[in-house]
Amino acid sequence: MPVVDAKPYQYPFEPKTTALVVIDMQRDFVEPGGFGDSLGNDVARLTAIVPTVAELIGLCRRYGIRVIHTREAHRADLTDCPPAKLKRGNPALKIGDKGAMGRILIDGEPGNDIVPALAPIAGEIVIVKPGKGAFYATALGDILRLQGITHLLFAGVTTEVCVQTTMREANDRGYECLLVEDATESYFPQFKTAALEMIRAQGGIIGWTATCGEVAAALAAR
């Protein structure tokens, strides 16, 4: 069984019962003109991790680890978007407004697509989620249970919002979770650092962290 030299201690996992969850690597967060940009963020930090996320996805595909993608998205009529979320942050462009890549954070719009370098392949599940956590109002929990998944690797953006929220949801549901440190990013470097520390504090209270290279080394050595 592969064992990752992770923090705060070793993380053993079986590829057959492990899934990689790639959170929200969509143009709305990663490219200029999307939702992240409309909230005043510099998206360059997020764009920079695309090659590492691609490497991790390729690694998982090679070793038979299921790859699941998520997108944060709302229905075109916004009936699944709480008014509080719509108003929050007083952004230049609100959810549903027309931006440079179509309507902001709306399912089916060009900006809602996963960036081309990380596009899902046939057979990979894409979870469309209206919240920050990928378990809320989606079929993710049922899918993982029916597929016999017990371990989850996490990548994507942003570390302290959708990634951390989903990892906490998964931890409460009993999954053994590991966040891949260099395959996740935040608009705020200090929030990424703090989120990684929070996850692995107190003996891994939420889970483990390790680099993509450390996961690759574990898989190569098994």
Q: Which letter does DSSP use for residue 162 in this model?
A: I
94 has catalytic annotation: no
Q: Name the catalytic one among 7, 28, 60, 129.
A: 129
Q: Which listed residue (18, 38, 158, 211) binds ligand C5J by CB under 6 A? A: 158
Among 161, 206, 210, 212, binds ligand C5J (CB under 6 A): 161
Query: Per CB under 6 A, does 65 bind ligand C5J?
Result: no
Report residue 87 CA to chain centroid gap.
24
- Contacts with ligand C5J by CB under 6 A: the residue count is 8
Q: Which residues pair with 106 in a beta bridge?
A: 74
Told to check if 22 binds ligand C5J by CB under 6 A, we report no
How far apart CA 112 and CA 74 sit, in angstroms, is 10
Q: How far is CA 71 from the centre of its chain?
A: 9
**Residue 157 touching ligand C5J (CB under 6 A):** yes
- DSSP letter for each residue of 165-190: HHHHHHHHTT-EEEEEEEEEE-SSHH
The yes-or-no answer on residue 60 being catalytic is: no
- Tell me which residues in 68-97 interact with ligand C5J (CB under 6 A): 72
Q: Is 24 a catalytic residue?
A: yes
24 binds ligand C5J (CB under 6 A): yes
Q: Which of 24, 28, 37, 182 is catalytic?
A: 24
Choosing from 60, 162, 177, 212, the catalytic residue is 162
Find the distance separating the first CA and the last CA of the chain, reported in whole Å: 6
Please state, in angstroms and as integers, the Cα–Cα distance from residue 60 to each residue in 75, 155, 181, 203, 215, following that order.
31, 12, 16, 26, 10
- Catalytic residue positions, numbered: 24, 129, 162
Residues that bind ligand C5J (CB under 6 A): 24, 29, 72, 132, 157-158, 161-162
